[in-house]
Amino acid sequence: MENLYLGIETSCDDTACALYSNKRGVVVHRTAAQLVHEKYGGVVPEIASRSHMRALLPLYELVMKKGGIGLKDLSGICVTNGPGLTGSLLVGLSFAKGLSYGSGVPLTGVHHLEGHILANDLEENFRTPCLALVVSGGHTQLVYVKEIGQYEFLGGTRDDAAGEAFDKIGKLLGLSYPGGPAVEKSAESGDPEAFDFPRGLKNSGECDYSFSGLKTAVRIKIESLGELSTTLVSDIAASAQEAIVDVLIRKAVIAVGRKDVHRFYLAGGVAANGRLRELAGERLGPLGIDVYWPESKYCTDNAAMIACAGMYRIESGKTDNIELNTFSRGELESWR
């Protein structure tokens, strides 16, 4: 029997809805990006939440129409309830609660990081036990996944997330927002060994990260160089990118040595970075570890991953009621 699940994602600045089938996978997936934030060089929370309010209902109606179904045809409604921007999360959660309350369709709240990890399941190659590196603008974590619903935190950033470092470095270099894709594009013509930027905690022996020192080092270097040529911008971008991906995979190698796994998954917006994917294969492949990542369109925030994660929760009997609330911060906890 086919079951269809609605996914709703509004944790930051992208409004997303999707339909996911336990038989066919992703049925419909739509995202409305908020381009207005580009002129501010970062996400403005109040603008983000108001934009979600305008976009969510039309997006939901479009997805349901494309799927050719009605609300009562759903087996579950899956919504991100944290972590993220509180105002943005409340828009999605309130909408999902209304749909569930009015129709009687089961509701479940999904942890945003679990969604990112299970974006790897959208193409049916997700196997456990495994390790996952969730790396985005707000998160950098290494997670051991014993099985779906059982998670162990191995290490994370002590200050800034890797994606945030990319964005700040992009801004310092005068590149477009968001900084991650812009830095990667500029780095294509740069020399990754032009500047020896620091790798935070690289010799700590732990799985934790730190990127604040890198940001400071890049800022000081830029200030010391004065006016930057296109070549210098590319060299700084390439060197900074190499420092970030080097330490990300360095810690992943440590984590692999502590767990008996043969599969490693990248997840989150930074998982779309080509150099990160390349280096993960170069260093983990010789250790007998198979490396995977989602399609680029499923690396960034999307509702398909939320619907997929929510499906597992609902089919395991994990549902929520009208009292479900949001949380701006919170570790990924086991629920199985």
The predicted pLDDT at position 34 comes to 64
Find the Cα–Cα–Cα–Cα dihedral 231, 283, 180, 54, rounded to 10°.
160
CA distance 282 to 176: 30
pTM: 0.95
Structure confidence by residue, pLDDT tens digits, 103-126: 999 999 999 999 999 999 998 779
The predicted pLDDT at position 273 comes to 97
The predicted pLDDT at position 203 comes to 87
Rounded average pLDDT over 118-142: 93
**Are residues 207 and 59 both part of a single domain?**
no
Q: CA angle, 272 as apex, 56 and 142 as ends, to 5°?
A: 95
In a domain, 325, yes or no: no
For residue 306, the domain's CATH number is 3.30.420.40
Q: What is the domain range of residue 146?
A: 127-296
**Are residues 152 and 265 both part of a single domain?**
yes
**Are residues 11 and 110 both part of a single domain?**
yes
Please, which pLDDT band fits residue 39 given cuts at 50, 70 and 90?
Answer: low
Of all residues in the chain, what percent carry a pLDDT higher than 70?
A: 98
Q: What are phi and psi of 335, to 5 degrees?
A: -125, -10
- Does 225 score more than 60 pLDDT? yes
In a domain, 49, yes or no: yes
Q: What are phi and psi of 23, to 5 degrees?
A: -110, -40
In a domain, 277, yes or no: yes
Who's near 136: CB < 8 A, 6+ residues apart?
A: 116, 161, 162, 163, 268, 269, 270
CA distance 125 to 136: 21
In a domain, 227, yes or no: yes
**Are residues 155 and 285 both part of a single domain?**
yes
The size of the chain, in residues, is 336
Instruction: Specify the amino acid at residue 305.
Output: M
In a domain, 322, yes or no: no
In a domain, 332, yes or no: no
Structure confidence by residue, pLDDT tens digits, 293-317: 999 999 999 999 999 999 999 999 9
* Complete DSSP assignment for 170-217: HHHTTPPSSHHHHHHHHHTTS-TTSS----TTTTSSSS-B--HHHHHH
**Are residues 8 and 44 both part of a single domain?**
yes
Nearest to 320 by CA among 103, 92, 76: 76
Which position has the token pair 């990260």? 209
Q: In what order do the strands lie in the sheet with 290-292?
A: 150-156, 140-147, 130-135, 263-267, 290-292
Percent composition of the chain: helix, strand, coil (DSSP 3-state, to 5): 45, 20, 35
**Are residues 91 and 143 both part of a single domain?**
no
**Are residues 308 and 248 both part of a single domain?**
no
**Are residues 196 and 112 both part of a single domain?**
no
- Does 41 score more than 80 pLDDT? no
In a domain, 323, yes or no: no
Number of domains in the chain: 2
The predicted pLDDT at position 42 comes to 72
Rounded average pLDDT over 262-269: 96
The predicted pLDDT at position 268 comes to 97
The predicted pLDDT at position 292 comes to 96
**Are residues 170 and 256 both part of a single domain?**
yes
CB 5 within 8 A of CB 47: no
- Does 38 score more than 70 pLDDT? no
| Radius of gyration of the chain, Cα coordinates, nearest whole angstrom | 20
**Are residues 100 and 157 both part of a single domain?**
no
**Are residues 145 and 114 both part of a single domain?**
no
Number of CB atoms found within 10 A of residue 144's CB: 18
Nearest to 320 by CA among 101, 102, 150, 70: 101
**Are residues 132 and 50 both part of a single domain?**
no
What is the rounded average pLDDT for all residues in the chain? 95
In a domain, 321, yes or no: no
